[in-house]
A and B are shown apart, each in its own frame.
Chain A
C-alpha cells in the first residue's frame, strides 16, 4: 500500500518536473518572441538546473542555511503530493485545500530562514518584502476560495473539481473571483508586477543572493514545483481541473502562458503599493463577488 503510494508520488514528482521545466523553457521562447528575438531553446531550463546541480563547488553559511533549503524543497514536494492533476491524485481522497495552503507556508518559511541565515542584508530585505507581499495577495485569494468551499460544502479539491465537471466552471459562475484569483496567483509566483521581493537589479536577487551550485539548482526545482502547485490550484478551482491528465495540462499551459505574457510588459510595484493594490482592488472585488454568490446561494 505504502509502496504503491510512494511509487505514484515519485512518478508524479518526476512527471511534474519534466512538464513544468519544459513549459517554463517554452515560456522563455514566448517572452523572447514578444521582445522581437528568438529566445533560447525550450529545454534551456533543464540545462540550467543540471549545470547548477553538478557544479563542483558551492558555499554554505552554516547549518540553518542547509536546513532551510531542505525544508523548503521537502515541504514543496510534500505539498505537491496533495494537488490533483486531472483525474490523477497521488493519494485519492487526500487533496485538501487548506492543507495545501499551509504546507506552502512551510516552503516559504524554510526558504526565508535559510536566506536570512546567510547573513546578507539583501536577502533579509528580500524576505521582508516577500512576507509583506504575502499578506497582500493571500487575503483576496482565500476569500474567493472560501466562497467556493462554502457553496460546495467541501474543502477537498477532488470534490470541487468533480462538481465543476458535472456543472459549469467556476470561471463562469464567479468571473470576478476568477480575475482576482488570477492576479493573486501572479503575486504568489512572484511574476512582474509583483516581483519586488526578487527585484533583480535592485537588491541583487533578494533571497537568492548567496545561493550557488547545488543550492541554486535545488531552489530552482523548488520554484518550479511551487509554480505547479499554485497554477494547478487555480486550474482546479476555476477551470474544472481536468477529466484526464491531458485536459488538465492544456488548461494549465494556457493559464501559465497567459500569466507570462501579461507579466512580460509590466514594470514593478513597490512592495507597499502592491499590498495596497491587493487590499484596495483585490479585497473589494472579492467581497463584491462574495456578496453576489452568497446572495444567489441563499435565495
Chain B
C-alpha cells in the first residue's frame, strides 16, 4: 500500500472507529492500535517512494526519505504506546467515542505532516492537526477548554507566519516542493531569506513551546486528557521543531551559522533564546505544584535544549539535538504515562494529596524512576547520550553562557523531577489509598517497553547513532564517529558498556557488604523517629506527616519578586479587551445619537469639498 492511500485509509478508519466505539470503546481502541502498527509497517515499506493525492489539481505530495523516516517512526511509536495505554486508560472518560475518533484522525494528520514532500501539503496538515488537537484538549473539563483557547490563539499566530513564509518562498523560487527548494535555494535574495527564517522560526517556537512563546504550554498540557498529554508533549511540540530543521534543508547548514546568509547572526541569537528557554523552563518547573504542569514546563526547557543545540552550528551539536528529540519523547512518555496511571487509580494528580504509592504501584514507580534518571541525563541511560553530545559541543568551543544554561537545565531538572517521586511515590501514604492496585497489564505494557528501551539505547547507543548518521549525511552534514557502545568526540572517548559494568560491579560490592552483616528488621511506615514524643496521628492520619506541600518553598522565595511572562501577557490581553469594549461603545451605541453625528460629518465633508 502506498503512502497516499495510507492517509486516505486513516481518515476513513477514524470515522469508522467513531461508530464502532458506540458499541464498545475497547473495539475502537484496539482497531486504532492495530492501525498504528500496520501503518508503521507501511511507512517502512514506502521508503523513498514518492506518492501523491491529486484531486482537482490540488496535489498533496508525500515522500519518505532518510530525514523524515526518523520523525515518522518516532510519531508512530509514541502513538502506539499511548494507544496501548488507552485501551484501559479511557475507561472513565466522558467522551470516549470522540476521543478515539479524533486521536486516530490526529495520527493520520501527523503522518501526513511528517511525510509531506512539499510545503503546501505540510501547511494543510499543520492546520488540520491544530484544530483536531484543539478539540482533543477541550474534551476534558472547563479548565482544559480555557487552555485550549489560548493554545489555538497562539497556534494560529504561528500558522499565519508560516503561511506568509511559504508564499514568500514560492514567490522567490517558483515552487514549494522540497527538492525544488533545495536545488534553487540560490534564487532567494537575502531580505526575503531573512523574512522566511524569522517567520518559520516564530511558527516553530510557538508550536514547540520555546521562550517567549511558551505560555500556553502549562495549562494546555497540564489540563489535557491524561492519555493525550504524552502525545501533546512528546510529539506535537516536535512538529514545531521539525519545521526548524527545514532551515537546514533550505539554507544549507554552514550558511545558516556563518554570517554569509542574510548578514544576520541567526544561529547565535537562536541558541541564546534556547538557553534562556532552558533556564526559564527549569525554574518554572521547580515552582509548580501540579505534576502535569511540572512536566509541561520541562517540555519548555527541553525544547530549549533542542533549539540551542541545533542553532549552535557544529555537527556534534546538531546530532545532539536530533537525538534529544528521541530522548525527550521517551522521557515525556514515561513520565506522563506514570502520572496517568496514578490518576487512573486515585483520580487526582495533585502532588499534595498523594504519597507512598510505591508499595501499591511498583511498575509505575519503576517507569517514572527510569524516566527521570534519563531526563536528568545520568548514565547509563539514553538521556545521557544526547546531553553528553551537547555538552561536548559547547565545551569544545568554550561558550560558557550556553554551557551554563545547559548545566542549569540538567541540574535543575534533578530538582523538579525528584519532587513527584518523593511526594507521590515515597513518603507516607494517605489512608484512602491503602487498597489501590497496580494498573491493568495493558497499561503496564507500554511503560515496561519504554523502560527497557531507555536502558537499552543508553548502554548501546550505537543502535540509534548509526541511523542518525545516515540522516545527517543525507542532509549534507558530516556524521559523527560512532560504534556500538562507544561515544567518540574530540575531547574524549566514552565507553558506555564500561560505565555500565563498573556501576554494576560497584552495586554488587555494595550488595555483598550489605548482606554480610546482620539481618534487618522490617518496620511499618508509621514507625518513625519522633524525638521521644508519642504521635498518634502517624498511625491514624499519616498524610499529616508527609512533607509534600511547598516542597521547594525556600527556592520559591528567591523568585517571588520576578514577574512572570504569563502575567505580562495576561495584562496585555486584559488591556486589549478594554480597548475593544471602547470600540464597541463608540461605534455601536444603543441610541440614535451617533448616527446624527455621522450624518452631520458626512454632509460637512461634502460641503467642505464642494465649496473649497
Contacts and interface: CB of A to CB of B under 8 A. Distances in A.
Contacts of B264: none
B37 interface: no
B426 A134 contact: no
A192 interface: no
A139 B408 contact: yes
B566 interface: no
B513 A275 contact: no
A151 B418 CA distance: 35
A299 interface: no
A119 interface: yes
Given A146-B403, A150-B398, A70 B492 contact: no
Interface string A15-26: 000000000000
A283 to B, nearest CB: 8
A63 B392 CA distance: 37
A125 interface: yes
A70 B369 CA distance: 16
Contacts of A146: 394-395, 398, 400, 403
A153 B392 CA distance: 10
Contacts of B408: 135, 139
Interface in B317-376: 356, 358-359, 369, 373, 376
B407 A58 contact: no
Contact of B514 (A69, A105, A134, A271): A69
A70 to B, nearest CB: 5
B376 A294 contact: no
A104 B557 CA distance: 28
A233 interface: no
A145 to B, nearest CB: 9
A116 B422 contact: yes
A246 interface: no
B567 interface: no
A114 to B, nearest CB: 9
Contacts of A134: 411, 414-415
Interface stretch (A37-45, A94-102, A237-245, A256-264): A94-102
Interface string A89-114: 00100101011001101100100110
Contacts, number: 230
A187 B252 CA distance: 46
A54 B517 contact: yes
Contact of B379 (A102, A132, A209): A102
A222 B594 CA distance: 83
B492 A81 contact: no
Counting chain B residues whose Cβ lies within 8 A of the other chain, the interface size class is 35 or more
Interface stretch (B46-54, B229-237, B437-445, B496-504): B496-504
Is the interface on chain A under 10, 10 to 19, 20 to 34, or 35 or more residues? 35 or more
Contacts of A116: 421-422, 426-427
Nearest to B529: A209
Interface string B519-561: 0111101111101000000000010011110011011011000
A122 B555 contact: no
Given A6-B505, A78-B502, A78-B505, A153 B396 contact: yes
B518 A128 contact: no
A74 B510 contact: yes
Interface in B413-441: 414-415, 418, 421-422, 426-428
B514 A132 contact: no
Contacts of B507: 70-71, 74-75, 78
Contacts of B428: 119, 121
Contacts of A272: 554-555, 557-558
Given A113-B421, A119-B356, A287 B558 contact: no
Contacts of B491: 149, 153-156
A45 to B, nearest CB: 17
B520 A102 contact: no
Nearest to A209: B529
Contacts of A81: 502, 506
B490 interface: yes
Given A99-B494, A135-B412, A156-B492, A57 B521 contact: yes
B378 to A, nearest CB: 5
A277 to B, nearest CB: 11
Given A58-B520, A59-B523, A94 B498 contact: yes
Interface in A25-57: 53-57
A8 interface: no
B523 A60 contact: yes
Contacts of B377: 102
A131 interface: yes
A276 interface: yes
Contact of B391 (A59, A98, A218): A98
A161 to B, nearest CB: 14
Nearest to A215: B520
Nearest to A151: B398
Contact of B395 (A55, A121, A150, A283): A150
A143 interface: yes
A23 B557 CA distance: 39
B509 interface: yes
Most buried by B among A58, A119, A142, A204: A119
B407 A128 contact: no
A168 interface: no
A124 interface: yes
B426 to A, nearest CB: 4
B522 A131 contact: no
A127 interface: yes
Contacts of B394: 146
A267 interface: no
Given A60-B523, A132-B415, A294-B398, A218 B492 contact: no
Contacts of B411: 134-135, 138-139
Contact of B407 (A125, A138, A155): A138
Contacts of B403: 142-143, 146
B404 interface: yes
Contact of A214 (B359, B518, B558): B518
A129 interface: yes
A270 interface: yes
Contacts of A64: 358, 426
Contacts of B572: none
A155 B492 contact: yes
Interface string A151-189: 101111000000000000000000000000000000000
A39 B205 CA distance: 62
A215 B422 CA distance: 20
B376 A105 contact: yes
A111 B412 CA distance: 18
B511 interface: yes
Nearest to B377: A102
B384 interface: yes
Nearest to A142: B407
B510 A73 contact: yes
A284 interface: no
A151 B495 CA distance: 24
B378 A59 contact: no
B6 to A, nearest CB: 42
A121 B547 contact: yes
Interface of A: 6, 9, 13, 53-64, 66, 69-71, 73-78, 81-82, 91, 94, 96, 98-99, 102-103, 105-106, 109, 112-113, 116-122, 124-125, 127-129, 131-132, 134-135, 138-139, 142-143, 146-147, 149-151, 153-156, 204, 209-210, 213-215, 217-218, 270-272, 275-276, 283, 287, 290, 294, 297
20 contacts: A59-B523, A59-B527, A63-B358, A66-B514, A70-B514, A112-B418, A118-B528, A121-B427, A125-B547, A128-B547, A132-B415, A132-B552, A132-B555, A146-B394, A146-B398, A151-B398, A213-B517, A214-B517, A275-B554, A287-B400
Q: When A and B form their complex, which 6 residue pairs have the shortest distance between CB atoms, in order from nearest?
A: A74-B507, A78-B506, A124-B547, A74-B506, A150-B398, A73-B510
Given A61-B523, A103-B378, 9 more contacts: A78-B507, A119-B427, A120-B545, A131-B415, A153-B491, A155-B491, A156-B492, A204-B531, A275-B554
